[in-house]
């Protein structure tokens, strides 16, 4: 019953959720080492989905559930226990790979920001404005450049998240509630 809540808290639809789906959700939770995510965090994320800024979270959840349903359908179609175990093994391997790729892509996006020309200019501008306060207008331009980089990073991060089924689980552990 607890895993059903993962889907239905906050008004989600149950869909084709059954024993096969529950088993696959359990596997994906194991991949994420989900022990330290509280039920209150889950409720917080599900409530955020209903806000104007949380629409992308709803899309992440739907992508995740679509992947669960895809593998659950495969399990339902086979008759041999060995085939079921193989599908589960492949699912776990694919979710681990997806999670690793997701982390790497997000790390790359962050490094693009850190090592960008705008960030270098911002550091120089901030240091300059501290050493010579008379050039404060450079500090204002620096703030604008940093804000632009923040917006670009968030857009790139959200695009990356949309491309990975494990993003919804990842978001429960990593994405700050804004």
Could you read off the pLDDT of 43-86 as tens digits, one per residue?
Answer: 888 888 888 878 888 899 999 999 999 999 999 999 899 999 99
For residues 62 and 176, the model is more confident at: 62
For residue 5, name the pLDDT band (cuts at 50, 70, 90): very low
d(CA 96, CA 100): 6
Q: Are 120 and 100 in contact (CB under 8 A)?
A: no
The residue with tokens 């589960």 is: 88
pLDDT in tens, 74-121: 999 998 999 999 999 999 999 999 999 999 999 988 888 777 776 666
Q: Are 71 and 24 in contact (CB under 8 A)?
A: yes
């Amino acid at each position: 019953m607890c895993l059903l809540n993962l889907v239905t808290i906050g008004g989600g639809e149950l869909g084709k959720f059954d024993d096969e789906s529950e088993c696959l959700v359990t596997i994906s939770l194991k991949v994420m080492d989900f022990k330290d995510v509280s039920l209150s965090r889950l409720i917080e994320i599900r409530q955020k989905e209903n806000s104007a800024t949380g629409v992308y979270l709803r899309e992440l959840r739907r992508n995740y559930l679509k992947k669960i349903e895809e593998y659950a359908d495969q399990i339902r179609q086979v008759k041999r226990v060995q085939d079921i175990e193989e599908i589960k093994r492949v699912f776990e391997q694919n979710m681990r790979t997806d999670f690793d790729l997701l982390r790497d892509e997000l790390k790359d996006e962050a490094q693009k920001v850190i090592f960008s020309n705008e960030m270098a200019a911002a550091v120089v501008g901030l240091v300059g404005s501290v050493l010579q306060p008379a050039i404060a207008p450079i500090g204002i331009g620096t703030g604008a450049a940093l804000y632009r980089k923040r917006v670009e990073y968030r857009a790139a991060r959200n695009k990356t998240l949309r491309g990975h089924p494990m993003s919804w689980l990842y978001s429960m552990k990593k994405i700050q509630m804004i």
